């Protein structure tokens, strides 16, 4: 998700896409199949919903114009803030206007949208245009968890969002410290570094703003053995001893982080790490690229602080070894589209092995590697000195990563958790907070219908990466 709430406010027409070497799709490839089939729709226009901000520069400056050149089809990009995307997609479906053709969908929404009939089933198109084999090359954590609702394909995983652990190699080495692999080791290491270096440098910092911190809670709660619900009764169990411990530990960690960290979002945490003010952090993949300075000389990334730590950053999985697959995107087709096949062919081409490799290397577009071929790409490995180590860490996360909770009305459960985290930073009792969160979750479950929500939960929980294996 990177910084979903951040509105960059850039005019796409003022930004020139950095040219990457265009790769000609091999004869018979999924990309070329989509291009050839789409030429029958030359002269038409399709719309695609995309996250407003930097993400939209992919279809605006790169993939949209390239598709027009290859097929003659215009692509109209509808930019929508992330917080509004789910609602707008659902509202458009209910209105039946046909205003949207192709969609970007956060995988945690797919269950809700599919059950509402807003997403077009894709299996028939996948078989018609020979894409099933190439889908198998998508990294397993995304392919096996973010592509289907039940047994039906509704979206193509298209963004390898996963939390990585970033650390100062030079600082740990000069202090004879190992990379923490447990949260206890992390606290010990961070406290020791803060004791030695503060206020010039603190041992660690995280984004603590509630919309981001709730993802970190979801991850830690499960790596320490927590379950969100009782499988039989659907009673919320987020207020278990595990949940209370995680809440208490998260608040205790703020003591060795910079003052005011409780209000930090994506940018504040990024700025501190790139300036060398913190030695360890956790975030989405762009931090790793920007710490090395990759692409930050471009106008679109002029807001990214200059990195003072290039060549000094190591990449690893977060403590516990099961990073959150926080948000991400899948490509889908609107069930109310009047141009379904043309929309499908565009997303097959976007998601294909050849095209996606170009897209994940665009410095400004914030699409992260999600295919085995991305992790193995010699071209990508050459982008900066430690790029091979970065890709290796991402590939590890693409095996052991944990899915975001996905239910009917997931947003209502997440909102209760976000409110709970805000209360945690305000100093309230962790047990009392989580008891309230659990009560709110139970109330949402009752409104949805216990049996109905249980079916959705058990479908989610049966996926390989819902809980640590």
For 365-410, the pLDDT digits (tens) are 889 999 999 999 999 999 999 999 999 999 999 999 999 999 999 9
In angstroms, the Cα distances linking 201 to 198, 255, 283 are: 5, 14, 19
Q: Which residues pair with 330 in a beta bridge?
A: 105, 157
Residue 180 has pLDDT above 90, yes or no: yes
Cα separation, 203 vs 38, whole angstroms: 53
Higher pLDDT, 54 or 290: 290
- 25 secondary structure, DSSP code: P
- Tell me which residue of 119, 161, 114, 118 sits closest to 142, measured CA to CA: 161
Both tokens of 374, joined, read 């991305």
Q: What is the pLDDT of residues 33-52, one digit of tens each?
A: 999 999 999 999 999 999 98
Provide the percentage of residues in the chain whose pLDDT is more than 90.
87
pLDDT at 10: 34
Q: Which pLDDT belongs to residue 270? A: 96
Per-residue model confidence (pLDDT) at position 82: 87
Question: Which regions of 93-204 does DSSP assign to beta strands (E)?
Answer: 102-105, 148-149, 152-153, 156-157, 164-168
pLDDT at 333 exceeding the cut of 90: yes
**Which pLDDT score, from 0 to 100, does residue 450 have?**
97
Q: Which two tokens stand for residue 373?
A: 């071929």
Give the pLDDT of residue 170: 97
Contacts of 125 (CB under 8 A, 6+ apart): 131, 333, 341, 344, 348
As a whole number of angstroms, the distance between CA 404 and CA 414 comes to 10
CB 172 within 8 A of CB 404: no
Does the domain formed by 12-160+327-391 have CATH 3.40.190.10? yes
- Which pLDDT tens digit goes with each residue over 451-468? 999 999 999 999 989 999
pLDDT in tens, 202-250: 999 999 999 999 999 999 999 999 999 999 999 999 999 999 999 999 9
Is 348 in contact with 356 (CB distance < 8 Å)? Answer: no
Q: What is the mean pLDDT of the chain?
A: 92
């Amino acid at each position: 998700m990177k910084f979903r709430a951040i509105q960059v406010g850039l005019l796409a027409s003022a930004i020139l896409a950095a040219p990457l070497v265009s790769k000609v799709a091999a004869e018979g490839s999924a990309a070329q199949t989509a291009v050839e089939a789409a030429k029958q729709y030359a002269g038409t226009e399709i719309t695609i919903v995309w996250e407003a901000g930097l993400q939209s520069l992919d279809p605006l400056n790169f993939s949209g114009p390239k598709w027009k050149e290859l097929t003659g089809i215009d692509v109209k990009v509808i930019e929508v803030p992330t917080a509004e995307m789910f609602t707008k997609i659902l509202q458009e479906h209910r209105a039946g206007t046909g205003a949207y053709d192709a969609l970007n969908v956060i995988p945690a929404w797919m269950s809700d949208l599919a059950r509402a009939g807003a997403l077009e089933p894709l299996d028939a198109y996948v078989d018609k245009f020979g894409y099933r084999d190439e889908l198998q090359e998508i990294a397993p954590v995304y392919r096996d968890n973010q592509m289907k609702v039940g047994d039906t394909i509704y979206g193509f995983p298209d963004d390898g969002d996963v939390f990585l652990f970033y650390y100062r190699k030079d600082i740990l080495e000069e202090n004879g410290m190992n990379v923490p692999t447990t949260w206890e080791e992390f606290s010990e290491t961070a406290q020791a570094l803060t004791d030695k270096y503060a206020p010039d440098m603190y041992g660690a910092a995280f984004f603590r703003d509630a919309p981001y911190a709730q993802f970190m809670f979801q991850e830690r709660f499960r790596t320490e053995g927590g379950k969100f619900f009782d499988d039989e009764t659907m009673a919320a169990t987020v207020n278990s001893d595990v949940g209370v411990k995680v809440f208490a530990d998260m608040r205790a960690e703020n003591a060795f982080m910079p003052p005011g960290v409780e209000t930090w979002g994506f940018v504040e945490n990024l700025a501190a790490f790139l300036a060398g003010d913190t030695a360890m952090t956790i975030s989405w993949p762009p931090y790793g690229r920007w710490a090395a300075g990759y692409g930050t000389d471009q106008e679109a990334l002029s807001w990214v602080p200059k990195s003072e730590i290039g060549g000094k950053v190591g990449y690893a999985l977060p403590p516990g070894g099961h990073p959150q697959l926080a948000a991400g995107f899948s490509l889908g087709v609107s069930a109310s589209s009047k141009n379904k096949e043309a929309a499908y062919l565009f997303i097959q081409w976007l998601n294909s092995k050849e095209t996606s490799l170009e897209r994940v290397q665009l410095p400004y577009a914030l699409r992260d590697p999600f295919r085995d071929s991305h992790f193995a790409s010699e071209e990508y490995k050459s982008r900066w000195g430690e790029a091979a180590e970065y890709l290796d860490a991402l590939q590890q996360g693409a095996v052991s990563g944990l899915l975001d909770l996905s239910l009917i009305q997931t947003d209502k459960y997440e909102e209760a958790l976000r409110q709970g985290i805000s209360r945690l930073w305000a100093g309230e009792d962790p047990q009392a907070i989580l008891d309230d969160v659990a009560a709110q979750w139970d109330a949402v479950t009752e409104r949805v219908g216990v049996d109905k929500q249980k079916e959705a939960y058990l479908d989610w929980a049966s996926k390989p990466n819902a809980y640590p294996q």
